[in-house]
Structure 1
Amino acid sequence: MQTMTTFMSPPPAATFLAFHPQDNNIIAIGMEDSSIHIYNVRVDEIKTKLKGHHKRITGLAFSNVLNVLVSSGADSQLCVWNTNGWEKQTSKLLQIPAGRVAAPLADTRVQFHQDQTHLLAVHETQIAVYEAPKLESPKQWFPPETSGSITHATYSCDSQSIFVSFEDASVGILTSSTLRLRCRITSTAYLPSNPNLRAHPLVIAAHPSEPDQFALGLTDGGVCVLEPLESEGKWGTSPPALENGGAGPSSTTPGAASTTDQAQR
């Protein structure tokens, strides 16, 4: 291992990092104090500091098509920055559904679709997809309260699906273009039946080339890799569209194929 450079010793702490897709000498560094530092590794210099959030930075995503950086924070806000002059183009607050109260410092994650235009925003109360750079006309999906909060979500490698994990240890598979729930995997499909474990996913990662395979990182240190049974071939089918844009029907899938690393169980 070789340490290329070390810089910007805290405080404040760095809470999120993202390399510029067209210049890997440029790193966007989200900070605990809500600022974003644009750092040039080659010259060991902070080019500029971006200020638009009110709480710590929890997500950063570059679009190399739109030449923008989108940031998200624990203030449930999204900001769009032009990467040419680093000026803020727009900002949006997530629309928290009526009757739900978000945690004061709930993380918001952001990820660009393969088309580098549609933006996935993940919050404990919802999944939202925006069209960048203006962040107009968001599509939103709100999980049923029985599932608990969303713990993480990500696009599949082909961006056709969104994998979503929940506090009750279930996993949902949404069709990304419509945000319709196509399939729901219950915890009994991949976790031992021992109720004392009470593990649930904290993070979910999509396979880089298999669009129906993903991995779950669990609260007990375990890691599960899930894919559909060969007889099914894919995760469920798209249910009929609902006029109210709600969660839609779910199909419980008790037969998911899985492998589990129980290193810390």
Structure 2
Amino acid sequence: MSMDFHPQQQTILLVGTNIGDISLWEVGSQERLAHESFKVWDISAASMALQTTLLNDAAISVNRCVWEPNGLMLVNDIVFAHPKKQLCIVTCGDDKTIKVWDVVAGRRQYTFEGHEAPVYSVYHHLLENIQFIYSTAIDGKIKAWLYNCLGSRVDYDAPGHWCTMMAYSADGTRLFSCGTSREGESHLVEWNESKGAIKRTYSGFRKRSLGVVQFDTTRNRFLAAGDEFQIKFWDMDNTNMLTAVDADGGLPASPRLRFNKVGSLLAVTTSDNGIKILANSDGLRLIRMLESKSIDKNRPLIVNALGPVGNVSGAIAPTVEWPDRVPPAVSINSWYYGQQQIFYVKPHIADDGDKVKSWEIPDVSDLSQMKALRVPDSIAPSKVVQLIYTTCGPALLALTASAVHKLWKWQHGERNPSGK
């Protein structure tokens, strides 16, 4: 139902499902790092109607899960915000309101009212040190709210007049929305914020969509949307669709998708409850660097790269290389599946007996939580100019000022049977 890449660890993918599961995946090794089931924070504080629903229907869908900007925590719904330098989450729902909550204490800080229909999505944005929230309702109304509680500052009509989601380009200068009408007509547009009018309408949605189309932006250059069992790509400055790919098939009618923060990996849901990862050349290098030698050879793993190819015989399909370094004028005929170059991961769901790794970033609140360790060194001391973990963290590698590399590996033992 929802995916979000970690803001710093570019191959860590957060996934929320329609049965209430929340998982972390390392897409390079195809390992599930952590798994939790959805829980209501304080069930006693919930309304009786919600408590009754939870008792009668245990299958709770995680419609949205996202990382906090620093990657230290995540929420199930909906977005993070920082009004008055305080970390908060913003939620919306069928009560037609938008609420802002203190993350630590769980107290409600703000309530915005004004929508006349259930609120479908919210999007927090910072513009020239001014924080505000966009909200969209299922009647197609788009509103914007400041934290002074003076009511909505804008009132747009989304094309299609139904479910719509908003997103800015990476530099925060261009606003886009994508949604689908009740009749299945999908619309991807760029907005002129100062005029409250549509600036561009992107073409390429030829058939009636079977679900609400989701989209994402990457860098300041490309748009991607899941539709017609495909992923469709646009250049932000060109309303004509750049290309469409089916990722070797197996996609649902309206696949959900998400770019990582640097735009090198694209996660796409599959019809068999799996995830495919598409990689450009930067993403492919990242994946290859992190690949573990212990990957099960029987798992469906196809690694390819996207880029220009010469002297290719046979049928080939066009695709797009999405980093900023792509030449400004992108010809659809100049980018191809070079050598079947898509990176595809179908997650291996651990059996009940499998041991799931825990992955936590604890907060260090005082010096008692920190520890100094002296590692053995039989070589003459020399200044360390760089110190890093090796891939997957089983060893430390140091570069000294005398141009000598030093490697320390963790010892196997009762407290550390894996040697990591």
Calculate the TM-score normalised by the size of structure 1: 0.72
**Aligned residue in 1 for 2:221:** 160
1:81-92 equivalences in 2 (<5 Å): 81-85=145-149, 87-92=151-156
1:209-248 equivalences in 2 (<5 Å): 209=262, 211-228=263-280, 229-232=305-308, 235=320
Whole-angstrom CA distance in 1 between matches of 2:139 and 2:206: 22
Whole-angstrom CA distance in 2 between matches of 1:230 and 1:41: 41
**Aligned residue in 2 for 1:115:** 171
| 1:55-94: CA deviation from partner (whole Å, max 9, x where unpaired) | 3222211111242211112222210111244531011111
Q: CA RMSD for the aligned pairs?
A: 3.5
Whole-angstrom CA distance in 1 between matches of 2:238 and 2:171: 16
Q: Answer whether contact 1:33 1:56 (CA < 8 A) is retained.
A: yes
Q: Answer whether contact 2:217 2:259 (CA < 8 A) is retained.
A: yes
**Aligned residue in 1 for 2:324:** none
1:133 Cα deviation from its structure 2 partner: 6.1
Whole-angstrom CA distance in 2 between matches of 1:131 and 1:6: 42
**Aligned residue in 1 for 2:135:** 71
| 1:21-49: CA deviation from partner (whole Å, max 9, x where unpaired) | 45343322102222111223456533332
Amino acid at match of 2:176: L
CA distance 1:252–1:200, change in 2 (3 Å): farther
1:19-34 equivalences in 2 (<5 Å): 19-21=80-82, 23-34=85-96
The answer to whether structure 1 residue 148 and structure 2 residue 233 are counterparts is no
1:183 Cα deviation from its structure 2 partner: 1.6
| Worse-superposed segment, 47-56 or 225-234 | 225-234
**Aligned residue in 2 for 1:139:** 200
**Aligned residue in 1 for 2:346:** 261
CA distance 1:49–1:85, change in 2 (3 Å): closer
Report the structure, 1 or 2, having the larger strand content: 1
Amino acid at match of 2:274: G
SS of the equivalent of 1:64 reads strand
Whole-angstrom CA distance in 2 between matches of 1:110 and 1:262: 29
**Aligned residue in 1 for 2:404:** none
Whole-angstrom CA distance in 1 between matches of 2:159 and 2:235: 21
The structure that has the greater radius of gyration is 2
| 1:135-182: CA deviation from partner (whole Å, max 9, x where unpaired) | 3343222433237356211001x131111110x211111112334322
**Aligned residue in 1 for 2:121:** 59
1:6-45 equivalences in 2 (<5 Å): 6=42, 9-10=46-47, 16-21=77-82, 23-41=85-103, 44-45=106-107
Amino acid at match of 1:207: N
SS of the equivalent of 1:163 reads strand
**Aligned residue in 2 for 1:127:** 188
**Which runs of 5 or more residues in structure 1 are unaligned?**
97-101, 193-197, 241-248
CA distance 1:220–1:135, change in 2 (3 Å): farther
Amino acid at match of 1:203: R
SS of the equivalent of 1:172 reads strand
Whole-angstrom CA distance in 2 between matches of 1:201 and 1:137: 24
Q: Answer whether contact 2:225 2:233 (CA < 8 A) is retained.
A: yes
1:113 Cα deviation from its structure 2 partner: 1.9
Q: Answer whether contact 1:61 1:110 (CA < 8 A) is retained.
A: yes
1:262 Cα deviation from its structure 2 partner: 5.3
1:260 Cα deviation from its structure 2 partner: 2.7
CA distance 1:174–1:250, change in 2 (3 Å): farther
Identity over aligned pairs, percent: 9
| 1:103-125: CA deviation from partner (whole Å, max 9, x where unpaired) | xxx53111222232422211021
**Which runs of 5 or more residues in structure 2 are unaligned?**
1-35, 54-61, 64-76, 181-185, 281-304, 310-318, 322-326, 350-420
Whole-angstrom CA distance in 2 between matches of 1:250 and 1:95: 31
Q: Answer whether contact 1:80 1:91 (CA < 8 A) is retained.
A: yes
Whole-angstrom CA distance in 1 between matches of 2:108 and 2:256: 31
**Aligned residue in 1 for 2:15:** none
| 1:196-220: CA deviation from partner (whole Å, max 9, x where unpaired) | xx734531000222x3531101232
**Aligned residue in 2 for 1:182:** 242
**Aligned residue in 2 for 1:93:** 157
The answer to whether structure 1 residue 80 and structure 2 residue 117 are counterparts is no
**Aligned residue in 1 for 2:249:** 191
